[in-house]
Amino acid sequence: MKLFIIIFLLITLPVSLTLTTFSAATSISEYTKAIEDGPEDMKYKFYLLRGKAFKDSGNINSALKDFSTSIMLKPSIEAYQYRGEIYLEQGRNISAIKDFTSAIEIRPSIYLYKLRGKAYLNSENYVMALSDAALIIESDPNVSESYNLMIEVCDKLEDVELGREKAREALSIDKTNKIANEFISKYPLKIKL
């Protein structure tokens, strides 16, 4: 009966809702049972959900393995994103970039561009980080946080003029933007006498 309920919920609920509410209530062993006994066309979701449960429990190696199996069975934005987030946390930026790019190819989102841009920034690929930063600003110019990646790249490149301009734009939307405030503090405007 439990397996039937799991399958029913997975079919009827969106994956994102399933991942946030259902994962907390279902144990890793139940996902394992669903993988063993469930229909073949649903196994990718069970691997995805178990991978998320492993990630939440701190079992990162098992999470990576399950996300990879889920991708092998049926590539999805969520599996690429979750695996990419682990790679990003581990400093495996090239692998993270590949996963975020694969997820973006399925369905672009500002969040995925932010993640990929951060991986580019961490790998010192500033040209690509600037490209993603520009896409984020273009997509959501009225959100202060949209400017943060651009400001961070400008800080690494010591491009004070562009960084200050983007920090001012971010602060005009939200005066509490921490990254913009830190940039302005680090690079104060010098007044010539």
Q: Which domains, and CATH codes, for the chain?
A: 13-107 (1.25.40.10), 126-193 (1.25.40)
| DSSP letter assigned to residue 192 | P
The pair of structure tokens assigned to 32 is 């394992």
Asked if 127 contacts 97 with a C-beta cutoff of 8 angstroms, the reply is no
3-state secondary structure of 92: coil
The one-letter amino acid code at 144 reads S
8 A C-beta contact, residue 15 and residue 76:
yes
Amino acid at 67: F
> Digits of tens for pLDDT over the chain (193 positions)?
554 444 444 554 455 444 443 444 457 989 999 999 989 999 999 999 999 999 999 999 999 999 999 999 999 999 999 999 999 999 999 999 999 999 999 999 999 999 999 999 999 999 999 999 999 999 999 999 999 999 999 999 999 999 999 999 999 999 999 999 999 999 987 766 6
In angstroms, the CA 170 to CA 153 distance is 15
Identify the sign of the CA torsion 14, 20, 24, 28.
positive
Specify the pTM: 0.82
